[in-house]
Amino acid sequence: MVTTKAVIPVAGMGTRFLPATKALPKEMLPLVDKPVIQYVVEEAVAAGLSDLLLITGRNKNALENHFDRVAELEQALEAKGDSGRLFQVQESSQLADIHYTRQGDPRGLGHAVLRAKSHVGDNSFAVLLGDDVIDSRDYILERMLQVHEESGDNVIALMQVPKSQISLYGCAAVGFQHAPDVYQVSNLVEKPAADSAPSDLAVIGRYVLNSEIFSILEKTQPGRGGEIQLTDALEYAAANPDVAGGVRGVVFSGRRYDTGDKLDFIKATLRIAVDRDDIGSELRSWLKDFAKDL
């Protein structure tokens, strides 16, 4: 069956980005002039996912408003004849069929995903972390959906990182190589110490999951940080493929930004901005001058 549903958790506390995230979800911070969440929604839509469920937390109004229509703003832009901006304002409200549900207490990513159970039903579904941006010039979700359709396994996205950074991520132990970019995942460990990590393959924020993962999540006890970890449920699935299907990893080697991290956020802004038609060339020449003084 073709996967059409996507779940986008946006209910995290955003503590790494305080105080900016005190009253605003981190997914509403702009990369140049579009909030992070819009890049993620656009990626899902481009991959053919048309039914999106956002798992929201406190301050959810800003997110809902962004994907809603604002009649007085549209009228004002129309009256001014500003069709470019009018298009941009309308675009975000026409992207997809977007639904919202509350997480309640932010008890971890696994808990957030479990909140999607009744919306998803018996279908397989994608999960896109709302603060994890894949550059639209590179892509991975299409490939993950293809691997899922062919194998029936759960599919996670992996990225090679320096071993010194693996303790910031979930880490995958891999076995059989199905294709140059696809491995069977034999085990998963959340944020391992560098010397005990089974590989340098980090789990990044894209998943295609079977609905049976919900019954595993329901039984998953709070793990690292007292949170219900999606990684722990996937570790169980990898070890017990008869319950919810096995786990395959697709290795991504393109541009990806963890926008919940301040430094990565700034890098993402610059990477996107230097290639923009409107501000790119001016920014490039300014950056060259700026870099001379560093």
**In this complex, which beta carbon is closest to ligand UTP, that of residue 106 or of residue 152?**
106
The piece of 105-113, 159-167, 184-192, 210-218 that touches ligand UTP (CB under 6 A) is 105-113
Binding residues among 18-57 for ligand UTP as defined by CB under 6 A: 55
- Which listed residue (5, 6, 9, 155) binds ligand UTP by CB under 6 A? 9
Residues facing 54 on adjacent strands: 8, 100
13 contributes a contact to ligand UTP by CB under 6 A: yes
Using an 8 Å Cβ cutoff, are 115 and 101 in contact? yes
Binding residues among 201-260 for ligand UTP as defined by CB under 6 A: 260
Kindly state the tokens that stand for 112: 């957030």
Backbone phi and psi for residue 182, each to the nearest 5 degrees, phi listed first: -130, 125
Binding residues among 55-84 for ligand UTP as defined by CB under 6 A: 55
Question: What are the residues whose beta carbons fall under 8 Å from the beta carbon of 286, sequence distance 6 or more?
Answer: none
* Residue 184 CA to its chain's centroid (Å): 22
103 contributes a contact to ligand UTP by CB under 6 A: yes
Neighbouring C-beta atoms of residue 252, cutoff 10 Å: 21
Kindly state the tokens that stand for 216: 């595993």
130 contributes a contact to ligand UTP by CB under 6 A: yes
The piece of 116-124, 125-133, 157-165, 195-203 that touches ligand UTP (CB under 6 A) is 125-133
Q: How far is the CB of 125 from ligand UTP (least distance, A)?
A: 15
Using an 8 Å Cβ cutoff, are 173 and 188 in contact? yes
The piece of 9-17, 135-143, 149-157, 158-166 that touches ligand UTP (CB under 6 A) is 9-17
